[in-house]
Amino acid sequence: MFTGIVETVGTVQAVAATGGNLSFWIKSSITAELKVDQSVSHDGICLTVESIIGDQYQVTAIEETIRKSNISQWQPGKKVNLERCMTLGGRLDGHIVQGHVDATGTCLSVTPEQGSYLYRFSFPKAFNHLIIEKGSIAVSGTSLTCFDVSDGAFSVAIIPYTYEHTGISQISSGSLVNLEFDVIGKYIARMQAFPLPDTSQNLGG
């Protein structure tokens, strides 16, 4: 589980295809603090550290991940938002993020404003019911507040710190991003579709 607060930005060093999977070597400033079997969010994708050599480590994406995210487009030199899993007792500065990408979205526009940046993204309309005005959404692993929500599109405002310390500065019109909708909203939607069964008759007495 993650919070969507990016710790640092890593750089893809190498990409290799093995069967239907893709393996990546990532260079980062936190590699020395990682361990094999640890979960790390990469642009919003939860991947497991498999090997560590020097300041680089290896992760692998399986077909399910490749199908639902933009990871098949990653090439050497790609900057990736990194976040280690949250710890019990720590502050939840963003929102609950699982690292399970729901879909990809497309950047429609980037508008520089006085001291900030306005990004607008489109997303598959099948997810319309999972996004609300002023709600939380993870865009490539970054916890953001969405607004100006319409049918299949939303906007986010990026402060200078986020722009300078994450990979969002690389996103431009036409860029494909990873989206994870609020998990609480997903559970509520599921419960509305399938109400909980009445267990009152199972009570002993």
Task: List the pLDDT tens digit at each of the 205 positions of the chain.
Answer: 899 999 999 999 999 998 999 999 999 999 999 999 999 999 999 999 999 999 999 999 999 999 999 999 999 999 999 999 988 877 788 899 999 999 999 999 999 998 899 999 999 999 999 999 999 999 999 999 999 999 999 999 999 999 999 999 999 999 999 999 999 999 999 888 888 777 666 555 5
Q: Please, are residues 12 and 66 in contact by the beta-carbon 8 Å criterion?
A: no
Q: Which residue matches tokens 């994708």? A: 45
Could you tell me which residues come within 8 angstroms of residue 189 by beta carbon, excluding any fewer than 6 positions away?
129, 130
Sheet holding 56-61, edge to edge: 45-48, 39-42, 79-84, 8-18, 21-27, 56-61, 51-53
CATH code: domain 103-191 is 2.40.30.20
Question: CA–CA separation, 50 vs 48, rounded Å?
Answer: 6
Which CA distances in Å does 149 have to 21, 108, 116? 35, 13, 19
Residue 97 gets which letter from DSSP? B
User: In one letter, which amino acid is 159?
Assistant: I
* CATH 2.40.30.20 at 8-84, yes or no: yes
* CATH 2.40.30.20, the chain: domain bounds: 8-84, 103-191
